[in-house]
A and B are shown apart, each in its own frame.
Chain A
Amino acid sequence: MNAEGVLKKAEAWRVSSRLLTQVKEKTIESLLLFAAMTSVAITVGIVGILVYESTSFFVQISLWEFLTDRQWTPLFSEPHYGILPLVSGTLVTTTVALAVAVPMGSLIAIYLSEYSSTGTREVIKPALELLSAVPTVVYGYFALLFVTPALQKLWPELPGFNMLSAGLVIGIMIVPYVSSVSEDAMRAVPLHLREGAFALGATRMQTALRVVFPSALSGITAAYILGISRAIGETMVVAIAAGMQPTLTWNPLEPAATMTAYIVQVSLGDLPHGSVGYQTIFATGLTLLLITLAFNIVGHVLKKRYRQIY
């Protein structure tokens, strides 16, 4: 073969090999895009199935009744489909949880970012994360068999299932979320702001509360919203320790069912596909999703509003 033939062959080989490579690259890119699109598919699946089943539900029960009826007894001979008792259960447990987690988490975050040395921080932070690594059933066990009897020693009238124990335990559980994210936000505040305050003679507490905390408000709000979402979505602790009685009450010393606990309770009983009872869990799930989404949007807006450019 002469030199020209060899060159032509090499050229052809190079062109076709490049084409092959390009095809391979494109295929791989499409596969990766497909992987990324599965996340969109999951959202579509979630929203789709919730809306689909809820539509069948709302064809039979009016939205007005769903939102305003004060009882939730979907399986009785005289069924009532008011979501308010479940929402009140969720709100009360979340409020109790936040009453514990927000002060504790913020205080811990301030301490870690303003007072403690680096060495202490590197030990404490992972240790706190251990709190959030404990499985939620274990927390539920703890709430039922430890916290409730302990509280009953203080208040003998306290029923065995109540929202207070559940709320307290959820609060402890989400302290790491609040403290970790808040602390990250506070440490992102540049040093010169603190130094300015110190130069004016402020103590560490004054600096922390009047300079650092407000500057980091954007991240801290994100931390609070994270805690709220986690508390609203918590299932096992309330299912085990708060009882499963849907009551419209704002008193944490009583048993109540949250939206999440109701879904679990019905799933344990395994309602047959297609019945109204089965659809109630999807209507409840949709309400839960909308509430969580609302909080996420609020959080996003607040985060943007308080964002500081240092």
Chain B
Amino acid sequence: MSLKRDIDKSTKKDRLRRGIIQLRRRDRAFAFAGLAVMAGAFIVLLALLGQLVYDGMGRISWQFFASYPSRFASQAGILSAWIGTVLVMLLTALTAVPLGLGAAIYLEEYAPKNWMTDLIEINITNLAGVPSIVYGLMALGLLVYEFHLGQSFLTAGLTLGMLILPMVIIATRESLRAVPPQIREAAYALGATKWQTVRDHVVPYSMGGVLTGMILALSRAVGETAPLITVGALSFIAFLPHLPLTSDFPFLSGQWLFDPFTVMPIQMFNWVSRPQDEFHINAAAAGVILLVMTLAMNALAIVIRARFRRRIHW
């Protein structure tokens, strides 16, 4: 009888042990699956980048940067496109940064807790989820036709500025919130007005996060194609906009704001859509440059964030 009891005890332990081993095995399989999926995602990323670089690297040269688009793939280049991107980014930043900073400061420091503030906040969250092409549609109807700004740099800059505004506001608010309230209270205690506190204490300390957010938003804008196509980029631009400097008074000209425009992603799209392989190589080269631009901006944002974080001592 004690033998039976001993046998029963040991078999139950076995079952238990087997159960535990099985669970552990499943756990390890699960971990492995997670790792495999992650590896899969990275393999895809590397494949994509590798393909792009392999196709396009050979095409990148000084000539590529300095030539206009052409019907001959070997002579075609991205001159009008990359200058267009730089100018449009400039206008986008000029639109989004002041408005975004101002709105975030208002919402964080000044806004009373009433329905109007709620409305603004809900609004911003909604806008962040609107597809980018809808911004393009709005710009087409409103800016191009109603306000008669035409299919120009100005329209492009305003469109992208509005697109990234919610991102800038959200990122800036986070950074402002991260500044401890003691700083503000200390400033008030010394008799500073609200604006003085914000201008001299809160904003400078949050600059790291603010700059990071702005640069990330701009890097997103660099790659935006759909809204700009909707606003009206042309298939063939073989010239640069008017220079902002002129030979007669007042030596400054805003003519370029109203010139037709093109940007890097649109040029790449145009080349991808052509069936000849030589144009695909051009597209790959443009893609590499676009990617480098985007990654450089992201890297800059990370560096700035790290540097500012090091200086903060609370």
Is B269 within 8 A of A127, CB to CB? no
**Chain B contacts of A233 at CB under 8 A?**
130-134
CB-based nearest A residue for B23: A203
Cβ of A50 and Cβ of B294 under 8 Å apart?
Answer: no
Residues in chain A near residue B272, CB distance under 8 A: 137, 140-141, 144-145, 240
B131 contacts which of A36, A208, A268, A292 (Cβ < 8 Å)?
A292
Given A49-B142, A135-B290, A137-B272: A296 and B126 interface contact (C-beta under 8 Å): yes
For B101, list chain A residues within 8 Å (CB): 35
- Of A35, A130, A264, the most chain B CB neighbours within 10 A belong to A35
Stretch at the interface among B25-33, B63-71, B86-94, B246-254: B25-33
User: Closest chain B residue to A233 by CB distance?
Assistant: B131
Tell me the complex Cα distance, A45–B102, Å: 20
- Would A282 and B265 be within 8 Å (CB), given that A107-B37, A131-B41 are in contact? no
- CB-CB < 8 A to B156: which residues of A? none
B228's nearest neighbour on chain A, judged by CB, is: A267
User: Does A172 sit within 8 A of B, measured CB to CB?
Assistant: yes
Chain B's nearest CB lies how many Å from the CB of A212? 13
Q: A42-B165, A108-B34, A263-B230 are in contact. Are A141 and B136 (CB under 8 A)?
A: no
Which residues of chain B from 34 to 59 have any CB-CB distance to chain A below 8 Å in the complex?
34-35, 37-38, 40-42, 44-45, 47-48, 51-52
Please name all residues of chain A whose beta carbon is closer than 8 Å to the beta carbon of B102 when the two chains form the complex: 31-32, 34-36
User: A27–B248 Cα gap in the complex (Å)?
Assistant: 38
In the complex, per-residue mask of A253-294: 1 if CB is within 8 Å of any chain B CB, else 0: 000000010011001101001000000011001001100110
**Residues of B contacting A136 with CB < 8 Å?**
223, 225-226, 265
Closest to A108 in B: B38
Q: Which residues of B contact A35 (CB under 8 A)?
A: 98-103, 106
User: Given A45-B142, A135-B222, A205-B27, does the pair A39, B123 have CB atoms closer than 8 Å?
Assistant: yes
Q: Are B291 and A138 in contact (CB under 8 A)?
A: yes
Q: What residues make up the interface of A, taking CB atoms closer than 8 Å to B?
A: 21, 24-25, 28-29, 31-40, 42-43, 45-46, 48-50, 52-53, 103-104, 107-108, 110-111, 115, 124, 126-131, 133-142, 144-146, 172, 175, 203-206, 208, 226, 229, 232-236, 239-240, 260, 263-264, 267-268, 270, 273, 281-282, 285, 288-289, 292-293, 296
B209 within 8 A of A: no
For the complex, what is the distance from the CA of A270 to the CA of B234, rounded to whole Å? 10
Contact with B30, one of A126, A141, A205, A293 (Cβ below 8 angstroms): A205
Interface CB pairs A-B, < 8 A, 11: A25-B195, A29-B195, A42-B127, A50-B141, A134-B291, A137-B272, A263-B137, A267-B140, A268-B235, A289-B134, A296-B126
Determine if A53 and B141 form an interchain contact, defined as CB atoms under 8 angstroms apart.
yes
Assembled-state Cα–Cα distance A52/B226 (Å): 22
User: Which among A28, A137, A267 is the interface contact of B136 at CB below 8 angstroms?
Assistant: A267
Count of interface residues, chain B, beta-carbon cutoff 8 Å: 86
Does B13 sit at the interface, judged by CB under 8 A?
no
The answer to whether B37 touches A229, judged by C-beta atoms less than 8 angstroms apart, is no
Per the bound structure, the CA–CA distance linking A140 and B230 in Å amounts to 17
Q: Interface readout for B218-249 with A: 1 if CB under 8 Å, 0 if not?
A: 01101111100111100100000000000000
A285–B133 CB distance below 8 A: yes
User: CB-nearest residue of chain B relative to A35?
Assistant: B102
Distance of B239 from chain A, by nearest CB (Å): 19
Chain B: minimal CB distance from A186 (Å): 13
A293 to B287, CA, bound (A): 32
The answer, yes or no, to whether B193 is at the interface (CB within 8 Å) is yes
List residues of chain A with CB within 8 A of the CB of B232.
Answer: 267, 270
Chain A residues near B124: list those with CB within 8 A. Answer: 39
Instruction: Indicate if the CB atoms of A124 and B129 lie closer than 8 Å.
Output: no
Q: Are A293 and B134 interface neighbours, CB within 8 A?
A: no
Cβ distance A291 to chain B, nearest Cβ, rounded Å:
10
B110 part of interface (Cβ distance < 8 Å) = yes
A175–B231 CA distance with the chains assembled, in angstroms: 29
Is the pair A204, B27 in contact by a Cβ cutoff of 8 Å?
yes
6 tightest CB-CB pairs across the interface, nearest first? A233-B131, A135-B223, A35-B102, A111-B34, A32-B106, A235-B226
B257 interface hit (Cβ, 8 Å): no
In the complex, besides A36-B106, A229-B131, A233-B130, 15 extra interface pairs with C-beta distance below 8 angstroms are: A32-B105, A35-B98, A108-B37, A108-B41, A111-B38, A133-B298, A141-B52, A141-B287, A142-B51, A145-B280, A235-B226, A260-B226, A263-B230, A264-B133, A267-B136
